[in-house]
């Protein structure tokens, strides 16, 4: 049996950085990864997909360049082998960077294999047994495959496998109208593929307010994406030239099917029962406000604990654990203000409560909206789709949440994120003097239009 000061299971965006901090403190740490360092973000999420999004935007801009007085003769062609290779290069550079970083650390032992608990202080991997007083789980999540008629008879894609395509689908049917599915839908439409989105719920991006969801649908429809919502029945069958997707309202002749119906944690094969670690009904590991599980000496970070499922929230889990365990701090998970983005074009930047959540909270609230068509930068760039929306507490004057669907919305939202984290009231932010011409300069204007509802 090999002994360590700590064992980290999973090489995503929390565990490896925590392992590195512990090594800096002179600890002996084992980092166990069953496949690739970097987790979903590096290998099948943010980095490769946003690289593909960038290629798709380049194609879109090229096709529409005449609007800006730039004439490109001939057809705008897509070389998917080059597109895929570029995304793969970004992934490999990041992954190899982590490999090199850890290789240079005395006290760090990286083990590739499948770890399972033997008891609360012991795990087995590759036939070896390891023990440590502290064990951190950062095992991530994977796509959910729903039990739909005919699904096992077809070769479907997931968000992990679709990034490896090096040919262009004739018609891509996306099952699931949430964040992952919508990003791939617009991406492949811009590459030149016919795209249909099929969503069980009544609207796309169901987490958002109805006006945001409607605006997202308008953006996608304007680019020729076929959207089906409120679909109750879906079945698949092989056809002579692809896959038939039959719903209760349509029949789609697709060449490829992407299943984007959510994700589930990679916790079902860790031997958690042997350690006594509790999970909820969806398999997420139950943690307290410090990310500790019900078993002393075991923590769960990142997607597997169900508190975020984003790269930045996973990294923040590392920050919380490191601050509390290594720096004598008292940071809490409940202090985190959730923010995220949807990377369609234009992107959606989101922070805090939706209008629906704010109304349900019983607070007296104020709301302000402004169309992107009234933003100078948006008009100058010829990208006026979307709008800004801010919700505030009428009594405390604190900002409760915001949504910015529009050009650079994923960056502009950070002004609101910073204000909310600092506890700044909206009147104070309203009197800032932003730079012109930017999208951010409209934040004080939007705040000045807040009205009670």
Spatial distance between the Cα atoms of 389 and 105, rounded to a whole number of angstroms: 47
What is the Cα–Cα distance from 255 to 229, expressed in whole angstroms? 21
Rounded to an integer, what distance in angstroms lies between the CA atom of residue 12 and that of residue 199? Answer: 30
**Angle in degrees, 0-180, between the axes of helices 311-326 and 15-24, rounded to the nearest 10:** 30
CB atoms within 10 A of CB 111: 17
CA distance 293 to 452: 42
The whole-angstrom separation of Cα 453 and Cα 448 is 15
Active site residue 414: no
- H helix runs in 192-309, sequence order: 210-222, 272-275
Q: Which helix (H) or strand (E) holds 143?
A: strand 141-143
**Which one is catalytic: 307, 312, 414, 436?**
436
For the packed helices 210-222 and 179-191, what is the interaxial angle rounded to 10 degrees?
20
* Backbone phi and psi for residue 259, each to the nearest 5 degrees, phi listed first: -95, 115
**CA distances, 85 to each of 137, 178, 184, 189, 436 (Å):** 32, 27, 17, 19, 38
In residues, how long is the chain? 453
What would the two tokens of residue 279 be?
């999970």
Pairing assessment for the beta strands 194-198 and 226-228 based on DSSP bridges = parallel
The string of DSSP letters for 204-256 reads: SSTTS-HHHHHHHHHHHHHTT-EEE-S---EEEEEETTEEEEEESS-EEEESE
Contacts of 200 (CB under 8 A, 6+ apart): 230, 231, 232, 234
Q: What is the Cα Rg of the chain in Å?
A: 24
CA distance 299 to 279: 12
**Which alpha helices (DSSP H) does 237-344 contain, by range?**
272-275, 311-326
Between CA 24 and CA 92 the distance in angstroms is 26
Q: Give catalytic residues, as residue numbers.
A: 436
């Amino acid at each position: 049996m090999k002994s360590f000061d700590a064992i980290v299971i999973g090489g995503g965006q929390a565990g490896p950085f925590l392992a590195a901090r512990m090594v800096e403190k002179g600890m002996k740490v084992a980092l166990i990864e069953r496949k690739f360092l970097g987790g979903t973000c590096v290998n099948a999420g943010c980095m490769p997909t946003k690289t593909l999004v960038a290629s798709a935007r380049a194609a879109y801009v090229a096709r529409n360049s005449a609007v800006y007085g730039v004439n490109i003769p001939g057809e705008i062609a897509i070389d998917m082998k080059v597109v895929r290779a570029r995304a793969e290069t970004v992934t490999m550079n990041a992954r190899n960077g982590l490999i090199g970083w850890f290789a240079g650390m005395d006290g760090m032992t990286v083990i590739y294999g499948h770890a399972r608990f033997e008891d609360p202080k012991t795990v087995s991997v590759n036939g070896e047994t390891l023990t440590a007083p502290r064990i951190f789980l950062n095992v991530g999540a994977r796509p959910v495959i729903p039990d739909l008629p005919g699904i096992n008879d077809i070769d479907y894609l997931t968000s992990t496998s679709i990034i490896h395509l090096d040919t262009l689908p004739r018609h891509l049917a996306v099952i699931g109208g949430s964040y992952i599915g919508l990003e791939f839908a617009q991406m492949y439409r811009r590459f030149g593929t016919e795209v249909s989105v099929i969503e069980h719920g009544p609207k796309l991006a169901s987490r958002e307010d109805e006006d945001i969801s409607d605006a997202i649908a308008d953006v996608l429809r304007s680019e020729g994406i076929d959207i089906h919502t409120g679909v109750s029945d879906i079945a698949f069958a092989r056809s002579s030239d692809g896959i038939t997707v039959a719903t209760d309202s349509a029949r789609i002749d697709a060449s490829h099917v992407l299943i984007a119906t959510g994700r589930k944690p990679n916790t079902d094969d860790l031997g958690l029962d042997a350690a006594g670690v509790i999970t909820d009904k969806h398999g997420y590991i139950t943690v307290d406000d410090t990310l500790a599980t019900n078993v002393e000496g075991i923590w769960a970070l990142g997607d597997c604990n169900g508190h975020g499922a984003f790269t930045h929230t996973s990294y923040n889990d590392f920050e919380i654990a490191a601050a509390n365990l290594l720096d004598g701090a008292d940071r809490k998970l409940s202090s985190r203000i959730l923010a995220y983005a949807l990377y369609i074009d234009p992107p959606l930047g989101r922070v805090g409560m939706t209008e629906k959540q704010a109304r349900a909270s019983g607070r007296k609230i104020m709301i302000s909206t402004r169309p992107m068509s009234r933003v100078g930068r948006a008009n100058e760039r010829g990208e006026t789709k979307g709008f800004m929306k801010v919700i505030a507490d009428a009594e405390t004057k604190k900002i409760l949440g915001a949504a910015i669907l529009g050009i650079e919305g994923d960056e502009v939202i950070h002004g609101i994120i910073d204000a909310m984290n600092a506890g700044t009231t909206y009147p104070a932010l309203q009197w800032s003097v932003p730079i012109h011409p930017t999208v951010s300069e409209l934040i004080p204007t939007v705040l000045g239009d807040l009205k009670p509802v």
